[in-house]
Structure 1
């Protein structure tokens, strides 16, 4: 019983010794008396520590009161300074208004003048950004920027020299826009290299160098167009650069002063070869079929022309010659002179039928090609439209140019199919007419021979 009570006391004492000092915690109580001493020492140390903290709190409280008093004094002084500054601001605001009114009275009609000058300088600045004259005279825009900034300022006024220079720049832009001049400048080539070349400026419309058309980029640097206008225009550019006087034919872009949109649209248009490549595999097949049809038609025309010449020669001869269809038909009549009329007629019809396949060879194939070519073109168009609509499904229809370009490429095969079908139909008509003429002669001659044989009977 005594042991149980001792254990309970030890447990309660251990729970109350959580905040015991490090030395007391390292020691282990071996008896109740020793445990009691350790608890007492812990209470004494905690009491001393609490007193120390209370003294620190009192000291800080007195400091905080002093700081609060200082802050209140500072706020009062700042409020007084703020009120003084507000009074000073109001007084200066009135003074500024008086000065502005005085400035407006002294400026008088100059305000309207400066307004017109600012508008003129702004319009001229916008024109110089796209003007080809700036390629020859760079740096004019910087002066105009400074002039516009000065005229918009209420503390600065433009000088007489600056006003005169504005007028001068207007006149120079007008005069230079009507000149064809040569000057040396740096040109950016298509490979990115820069070269010093002689440049010809045609007013404010075009600039050319070494037979190539140039453009002016955003940095007022001249760069050679990657794609050049085809045909005679490059030759005209070379002739203009080589000319020293007189008149020279030259392809001028009328939209040059507004950015040269016509020239860009013209060189951006694909050539015939590029259009043909847009047809892709279906276009290549249609082209191959068309070439085959033309070659077949030419070959049949040559063959039938030779046969026709031999038939005409046979018509002028009384002796059958087996090197032509008419001669072979006449030789059959010579071999069957003694037979009756019906037998002779059958023999002659058989001879003509034997000659017909060779004469009409290739006609059916030409007719089939003329019918199939438009169908191949339609196949290519439908395939291209499917691809275009798939792209629209994925990327959307936000760019009408891309959609129109896809539809345009898809229609190329239809054009190729028609370009093959129409000449093939015409060639088939010519070849068929030549064959019909020869067959007509054979039928006519065989019928005449049968009629003569019937008369003799």
Structure 2
């Protein structure tokens, strides 16, 4: 086993030694060839080195030349840079100065622009106000100004210049002058019938305008829409018309003027008289008017009744005193009989019938006669007082019914249209007004008539007491009474 291994090892060594000898020969050949290649490379490298050194020397020369040129160029660029830097610094300073100037100018421009806008706005506002003044002035109907010019400025259709402002100032100056003048001229107006006619026109500044034609004299109202003067639908009171005529004729220095610029005159036109308001009160107005009619009849009858029973009672008492002193009792009774239609005379005649009796009986007789005269004088006065109390209650009833109707309208239609509620409110107010207007004079008449009755009763009592004292001083004896 061991011998076999050794054999194998020897065999392997023989096999390996043969190639190694062959490889050594090849190595020597290759070294020779490599040496020749190295020599060739060395020569080539030396040749290339010499060429590179020549090229480097040439490049170095060019670089040196270029460096000098670049140095000179850099120096020139530095000088140019310094010059440009100085110029930039100067321009920066100039830009800063210009920026400050621009900011200052912007501020001044903004301030000026604000002032201009404010001035233009004020001019436009004044143009609009001036247009309104001229449009509402009655002077416009006589001398129409150029309102379109003012309207263009107010509506920003025209930028106002100094000439436009001067023109506005002239128009305002003319308006002020006309507002302080009293003018009398002839012109065309629209009369109460709606027809244009010539009239004599009196213009009192911007407050009041009056007119006079051959038929009438009255006030005028100016309409800005049509620029015409219209006669008011209702003529003023007679006294005002006389004052206007007197002023136009030079007979008076005073003339009525409406300082509210037509507001009071328009209110006068729309003002309703009492008889025009009565139909608006509804059905409650009828009983109130009946109460007024009955009350007037009672007042007239009672006034006539009491007036017919007035007499000169002092003269009658003086005549009776003289006759009593003379003892002429029959003449006293005849004197009272001549005034039998007067309550005082009837009371005195009743007292003279009991002249022979005791004082107490005579007083009772006179008191009875006075009490008999009172009911005819007080007749219907209680009815008059009742009517005075009923009239305001009916007015209150009309107020309640009118408010009920108003609330019914509100329930159905709401409060959007006040004219739908005006009927019920008008009924409520008119009935209250009419009830009070009827009750107050009736109550006043009732008070005056009652006071008159009280005065007559007091006068009868006074004359009765005077008769008792008169008779008591000159009371006749039974024999004398029989002879007389």
TM-score (norm 1): 0.63
CA distance in 2, matches of 1:143, 1:249: 38
* 1:303 is the counterpart of 2:308: yes
Counterpart for residue 333 of structure 2:
320
Q: Is the 8 A contact 2:347 2:464 kept in 1?
A: yes
* 1:292 is the counterpart of 2:292: no
User: Per the alignment, do residues 369 and 389 of structure 1 end up closer, same or farther by CA in structure 2, a change over 3 Å counting?
Assistant: same
Aligned partner of 2:185 among 183, 186, 196: 183
Q: Displacement, 1:355?
A: 5.7
User: Per the alignment, do residues 314 and 440 of structure 1 end up closer, same or farther by CA in structure 2, a change over 3 Å counting?
Assistant: same
Listed as ranges, the gaps of 5+ residues in structure 2 are 1-105, 325-331, 339-344, 480-484
* Number of residue pairs matched by the alignment: 339
1:150-201 Cα shifts (integer Å, max 9, x gaps): xx25xx6556554432221111111111111123332222222221212111
CA distance in 2, matches of 1:360, 1:443: 21
Q: Is the 8 A contact 1:215 1:224 kept in 2?
A: yes
**Larger CA deviation: 180-189 vs 384-393:** 384-393
Q: Is the 8 A contact 2:395 2:436 kept in 1?
A: yes
Counterpart for residue 26 of structure 1:
none
Q: Displacement, 1:383?
A: 2.1
Q: Is the 8 A contact 1:213 1:224 kept in 2?
A: yes
Q: Displacement, 1:310?
A: 7.0
* 1:224 is the counterpart of 2:224: no
Counterpart for residue 467 of structure 2:
445
User: Per the alignment, do residues 222 and 380 of structure 1 end up closer, same or farther by CA in structure 2, a change over 3 Å counting?
Assistant: same
User: Per the alignment, do residues 332 and 157 of structure 1 end up closer, same or farther by CA in structure 2, a change over 3 Å counting?
Assistant: closer
* 1:386 is the counterpart of 2:391: no
1:80-99 Cα shifts (integer Å, max 9, x gaps): xxxxxxxxxxxxxxxxxxxx
Q: How does 1:90-129 map to 2 (within 5 A)?
A: 110-129=116-135
CA distance in 1, matches of 2:272, 2:294: 24
Q: Displacement, 1:281?
A: 2.6
User: Per the alignment, do residues 229 and 122 of structure 1 end up closer, same or farther by CA in structure 2, a change over 3 Å counting?
Assistant: same
* 1:136 is the counterpart of 2:151: no
Q: How does 1:37-76 map to 2 (within 5 A)?
A: none
Alignment RMSD (CA, Å): 3.8
Counterpart for residue 361 of structure 1:
376
1:382-434 Cα shifts (integer Å, max 9, x gaps): 22441353144226555399366444312221232022202321231123211
Counterpart for residue 436 of structure 2:
414
Q: Displacement, 1:115?
A: 2.8
CA distance in 2, matches of 1:277, 1:455: 74
Q: Is the 8 A contact 2:398 2:431 kept in 1?
A: yes
Counterpart for residue 341 of structure 2:
none
SS class of match (2:203): strand
Q: Displacement, 1:238?
A: 2.4
* 1:238 is the counterpart of 2:245: yes
Q: Displacement, 1:300?
A: 3.4
Counterpart for residue 209 of structure 2:
207
1:317-345 Cα shifts (integer Å, max 9, x gaps): 333222331452244226xx4xx75xx96
User: Per the alignment, do residues 289 and 347 of structure 1 end up closer, same or farther by CA in structure 2, a change over 3 Å counting?
Assistant: same
CA distance in 2, matches of 1:197, 1:253: 20
Q: Is the 8 A contact 1:360 1:435 kept in 2?
A: no
Counterpart for residue 174 of structure 1:
176
CA distance in 2, matches of 1:238, 1:278: 37
Q: Displacement, 1:122?
A: 1.3
Flag the structure with larger Rg.
2
User: Per the alignment, do residues 356 and 447 of structure 1 end up closer, same or farther by CA in structure 2, a change over 3 Å counting?
Assistant: farther
Q: Displacement, 1:307?
A: 7.2
Q: Is the 8 A contact 2:348 2:366 kept in 1?
A: no
Q: Is the 8 A contact 1:385 1:410 kept in 2?
A: no
Counterpart for residue 377 of structure 1:
392
Listed as ranges, the gaps of 5+ residues in structure 1 are 1-100
Q: Displacement, 1:275?
A: 6.0
CA distance in 1, matches of 2:370, 2:254: 62
CA distance in 1, matches of 2:286, 2:138: 44
Counterpart for residue 255 of structure 2:
250
User: Per the alignment, do residues 452 and 166 of structure 1 end up closer, same or farther by CA in structure 2, a change over 3 Å counting?
Assistant: closer
SS class of match (2:304): helix
CA distance in 2, matches of 1:232, 1:130: 28
CA distance in 1, matches of 2:152, 2:164: 10
Q: Is the 8 A contact 1:370 1:422 kept in 2?
A: no
